[in-house]
Structure 1
């Protein structure tokens, strides 16, 4: 009996050792394979990045080439995003000083259209490996098909020399909208129709949700020398400027964005930004007034969140969508780290990825927070910023419940607590405006850093300088705020 028992124990021990050894070897092989794939991804991204940077240094007007460049950039953003997710997972396991960092980059609770790229958990290691192989295969195929693009790219004229550092370059160009910019510029510069024709002046509708970058895109278009040299003047109107619009309103009203005095009159570009819907009869009256007071070859761009303006155009409308999570992360990372390499600071990169997820694609939030992070390059401040963003999301979700959509849209008052505030106070943000008259030099204007992380204790209603546009006339974006006590933070019961 003892002999049988000893043999059984020996067999069990032998099988256990074999099982553990086999599992160890498989894990080691998998780790080695993953490391090799990541190195391959780095090499492919370097090749792809060279092509993209060379393309950004050229004036490309061909729409097909611009579409292919857009595909190249999407693959590059996706590749860097994948690389950063694996890097953060490898170097940031566990918790930071104050909070556990989430590397999953699951879809935001506010935007279900955003896809899952990676999931954590040992049971899903195969899925991560498959996704990594998928990204590698996609980038390989993209690079294989880029030969003809490079050949045609060499025939495109070179632009003026660009800054060496990418974060400086992104401050001077419209990130990720090159194809849309050239589409609008092509519309503006194309030959006009016959005088008096039904499509003269031509109208381009620009449609997209709030905070997607419609106004910023138009600012970049109007700053282009080709557009400035083509039109005698560029006039901007908002919805409020067009109430009871007449010929006199269009001649003398609105904001003159640019005037080419050397031309002495002629073509006019009218930009109309609508905040509310207008009916067909109002548009006909406005369009008729425009036709009678602007010269041959003039153009109109009308932009709105509503799809109804598509019927007002004389050409196919241009629709803007939010960037993919991969592109948004690339934008935020470059601005937050500046000339510093994110690879040298994996823990900060992990916190930055989580912040980018919570900001849900908002470029205003990315601009504000990247500026704060770059100016305070230390883990303690970055951890504080991450904690603030989490607290803001949780606070508003608990107040508004399922009706809470996105804090950056400011459709409802946004409640938050300052990093150095007291428990008896709550800060409320309830809208933003842009102005060319006030800025950070205004002694009465508080900065966003002082508001969120400073020791200043404001009272009542006040304004905060959020950021300043890098394009002339360098508009300052102002956020309207108020300090409230908890008993005033009452949400109607029909919201729950």
Structure 2
């Protein structure tokens, strides 16, 4: 539904009363980090009707705090830039070719900064161009310019919708009602990972790949309970919230229970940037040996805009007297 609202905004022709002021239509999209704002916009921009309407689609990702310039070229120098579409044959190129400019903000936005940026856009972008701006801050909602398309607020999935997503990944075409014990465990695992879609994908697939071995499902649930307990004790929060707030988070190691890892400062990377070979999955479920702090791939999206999330990790020994002697442990194969 949200995708169609964005597409409708992009296909809507500018009103005649915009012409004297050279106004550009703006659609604000607000939502918490990792809720899917970038994915929503990317899907809308890949609609053939949208690609046929705009000759250029440009993503600008602010990384260091938005500063509005009255010179658009100077503003672009401070942003990570990605062209989704550039002068595609057959696109509408009247008025010099319409632009779709997608601005992804890392922080808050004041009226002066926005005013400088918007003024530059109205001077330099062709008539009929449009702007989408995404942010975690409600501040941007007042910068919308259309009455037909309201500013969008994107929310995390409800528990019911999240469970549907999780069980589809964990059980596939099998009806969970035919496996009530596994279904009950899966619901508890989903409760532990909600609202994180990355967590749902990672742990649902782990359950699915275990060949319905209920011992593994219990082990995964115990592992997640321990994760939540340790994060609350050590860092004062739910692991998903801690990572989202770029605070340190505890990561247990299922294959090496005498160790744990601390995950720091996750950053979003574009598809053009290189990513570490070691993943968070390797740290949690594999036998990665590393000293000091090292970069890990938290997650790589397989859907547009193909973003990756990279953080810093440090493996540490548990300081308990019961772990002085080595003892064998059962582990799940990768």
Which residue number in structure 1 is paired with residue 281 of structure 2?
Answer: 449
1:283 is the counterpart of 2:110: no
Which residue number in structure 2 is paired with residue 184 of structure 1?
Answer: 6
Unmatched 5+ stretches in structure 1: 1-178, 488-496
Which residue number in structure 2 is paired with residue 46 of structure 1?
Answer: none
CA distance in 2, matches of 1:342, 1:190: 44
Query: Could you say what secondary structure the match of 2:28 adopts?
Result: strand
Unmatched 5+ stretches in structure 2: 320-334
Q: Which has the larger radius of gyration?
A: 1
Q: Which runs of 4+ in 1 moved over 6 A?
A: 250-253, 402-405
Answer yes or no: is the 8 Å Cα contact 2:296–2:310 preserved in 1.
yes
Q: TM-score, normalising length from structure 1?
A: 0.56
Mapping of residues 72-221 of structure 1, within 5 Å: 179-194=1-16, 196-198=19-21, 200-221=23-44
Q: TM-score, normalising length from structure 2?
A: 0.81
Q: Give the Å deviation of 1:244.
A: 5.5
2:224 to 378, 389, 407: 389
Answer yes or no: is the 8 Å Cα contact 1:239–1:273 preserved in 2.
yes
Query: Could you say what secondary structure the match of 2:14 adopts?
Result: coil
Cα 1:402–1:469, aligned 2, differ >3 Å: closer, same or farther?
closer
Cα 1:360–1:206, aligned 2, differ >3 Å: closer, same or farther?
same
Q: Give the Å deviation of 1:217.
A: 1.1
CA distance in 2, matches of 1:380, 1:463: 32
CA distance in 1, matches of 2:224, 2:257: 17
Answer yes or no: is the 8 Å Cα contact 2:300–2:309 preserved in 1.
yes
Cα 1:279–1:251, aligned 2, differ >3 Å: closer, same or farther?
closer
Which residue number in structure 1 is paired with residue 86 of structure 2?
Answer: 259
Answer yes or no: is the 8 Å Cα contact 2:68–2:114 preserved in 1.
no
Q: Give the Å deviation of 1:473.
A: 5.7
The structure with the largest strand share of the pair is 2
CA distance in 2, matches of 1:324, 1:428: 29
Q: Give the Å deviation of 1:275.
A: 1.5
Mapping of residues 15-54 of structure 1, within 5 Å: none
The superposition leaves residues 178-201 of structure 1 with CA deviations (integer Å, 9 ceiling, x where unpaired) of x21111111110011346444721
The structure with the largest helix share of the pair is 1
Q: Give the Å deviation of 1:207.
A: 1.0
Q: Give the Å deviation of 1:353.
A: 0.6
Answer yes or no: is the 8 Å Cα contact 1:202–1:299 preserved in 2.
yes
CA distance in 1, matches of 2:269, 2:195: 20
1:229 is the counterpart of 2:229: no
Answer yes or no: is the 8 Å Cα contact 1:433–1:478 preserved in 2.
yes
CA distance in 2, matches of 1:210, 1:219: 16
How many pairs does the alignment contain? 305
